[in-house]
A and B are shown apart, each in its own frame.
Chain A
Amino acid sequence: MRRAVLIAIPYVWLLALFLVPFFIVLKISLSDTALAIPPYTPTLDFSEGWTGIKNFFSQLDLENFVWLTEDDLYWKAYLSSVKIALISTILTLIVGYPIAYAMARAPEEWRPTFMMLVILPFWTSFLIRVYAWMGILSNEGYLNQLLLWTGIISTPLTILNTNTAVYIGIVYTYLPFMILPIYSSLERMDGSLIEAAEDLGCSRLQAFWLVTIPLSRPGIIAGCFLVMIPVIGEFVIPSLLGGSGTLMIGKVLWEEFFSNRDWPVASAVAVVLLLILVVPIVLFQRNQQKQTEAEK
């Protein structure tokens, strides 16, 4: 009896506040836009019982989804979000892997300090960390001042409000998500395996490529998913560091909702975004479950 209550409380909470809201989004994405409060007319009306459901299917026109395919803003935004997410995931991996590797090779008594140094920015406000780059990357910002002063450039570079700034912002803010899983898989690795590979005639680079990389694969996979999935729907970074040319779907959804007040279209955007994310999310969960079971 107690067990049932213990299961039921978090279960019901998540059903009511996580799963049910998705069905509401789905329902509103099928509604018509209206100039009213709330600004949509429901096409699915449960209060009319069966006739309501029958009406719903006879009137179902998916017009918001048709609208998404007709206006090329939307599919361009989806494509560019996926592209930005893929590129920045690879960049984060390239930046993060050497750090994780060096941490795992560091003397044991230093490791907790390094861990803390990686985790600390993660606890600091995301918004503030993105904001810090606005002052660095602007035309009269610190980076341009430094480059002008050293004579590397003669005219300031335009970085803020471009995609480059977005990439820098993503790599910076998501770096701990990449470092931590890779570090934890590298730390568990048995160092004698490398020695064995080298004894058997591998060069250091070969040993790294043939032994270290495969053994850290679970960490790499987890890190890449942890970066890529949230970045696809990212809103803060493109809206603060990106420019008018930066198309990302999270920003489109936000503007559709807050500026255009078009709830049905915003909901349709969310539904399509979710469909794009289902594949990586399911793969990520499989990976996590396999990991947890391997640890048991």
Chain B
Amino acid sequence: MSRLSWFNTVSLTLGFAFLYIPMIILIIFSFNESKLVTVWAGFSTKWYGELMQNEAFLDAAWVTLRVAVFSSTLATILGTAAAYVLVRGGRFFGRTLFSGMIYAPLVMPEVITGLSLLLLFIGIGLDRGILTIVLAHTTFSMCFVSVVVSSRLVTFDRSLEEAALDLGCSPAQAFRLVTLPIIAPAVISGWLLAFTLSLDDLVIASFTSGPSATTLPIKIFSAVRLGVSPEINALSTLMIAVVTVGVIVASLVTKRAMVRQKQDEQAAAQVE
């Protein structure tokens, strides 16, 4: 099939227009001079300037960034371990419960996760702040990491690990020298996923944060409830820009890694 039929062309065009036009409008109107967001009054970057002066937003952004770095790193470690155990661990006591606990948070309504974690933190007397948000975010994003990593683990050739073990590696060495480099792209995309999930989360953060720690989504939500504002448009544009650059860079990096891996595999096959 070399060409698209007109029907497929139309559905792709309409589909991507639907997905992208709202964001494009948002970006355009972040450069609007007027405070009235629906009337165009000329090009201006003044809302970006005002944003940079808004201490509350900057503080919230700093809290959000710290939470995202800590929770996604922890979630990647825990999620990779969980994926390894699920795919390679064989049978162990309570395996069904374990896999249930990995999959359930993926579809659990955030209000329930948030409420239950809050009641736990209050129950054990943990003060709500950055620490509690990190714990909450780690818990739900480790499940996403584990799903991403286990899908890579399922497809890779196990005999590579066995060869390493036969050649005298300890299991830990085999993991570090063979398994980890192969699953690295999945681990990295798992980390990125956990990072954006944490940056993005409003509901769970609202339940588990205290007065000392407000994240950016909480701030945006309370501002947005009052209506559309050009300052929020500017903030949204910055966030969209960061994500777009991040996703494109990440996909280029993984693509290169995959190409290199393929070359390595071909070279290895020739040596044999």
A residues bordering B, Cβ < 8 Å? 2-3, 6-7, 9-11, 13-15, 17-22, 24-25, 28, 38, 95, 98-99, 101-103, 105-107, 112, 114, 116-121, 123-129, 131-136, 138, 140-142, 145, 172, 175, 191, 225-226, 229-230, 232-236, 239-240, 250, 253-254, 257-258, 263, 266-267, 270, 273-274, 277, 280-281, 284-285, 288-289, 292, 295-296
Contacts and interface: CB of A to CB of B under 8 A. Distances in A.
28 contacts: A11-B98, A21-B120, A25-B112, A25-B116, A106-B8, A107-B1, A107-B3, A107-B4, A117-B20, A120-B243, A123-B196, A124-B23, A128-B26, A129-B22, A136-B22, A138-B38, A145-B38, A175-B18, A226-B107, A230-B107, A230-B110, A233-B112, A254-B111, A254-B203, A257-B207, A266-B115, A270-B116, A274-B112
Given A102-B4, A121-B23, A124-B240, A19 B101 contact: yes
Interface string B57-93: 0000000000000000000001101101100010010
What are the 4 tightest A-B residue pairs by CB atom distance, in nearest-first order?
A233-B109, A21-B116, A102-B8, A99-B15
A267 B12 CA distance: 44
Contact of A17 (B82, B108, B111, B135): B135
B255 to A, nearest CB: 8
Contacts of A3: 89
Interface residues of B, number: 87
A119 B200 CA distance: 15
A14 B24 CA distance: 40
A270 B25 CA distance: 37
A120 B38 contact: no
Q: Which label, helix, strand, loop or mixed, suits the secondary structure of the A interface?
A: helix
Given A14-B102, A225-B107, A21 B203 contact: no
Contacts of A117: 16, 19-20
Contact of B25 (A138, A142, A239, A284): A142
B2 interface: yes
B11 A98 contact: yes
Q: Which label, helix, strand, loop or mixed, suits the secondary structure of the B interface?
A: helix
Nearest to B82: A10
Interface stretch (B42-50, B216-224, B259-267): B216-224
A99 B200 contact: no
Interface in B221-264: 221, 224-225, 227-228, 232-233, 236, 239-240, 243-244, 246-248, 251
A3 B257 CA distance: 30
Contacts of A102: 4, 7-9, 11-12, 15
Contacts of B251: 112, 116
A133 B22 contact: yes
B147 to A, nearest CB: 9
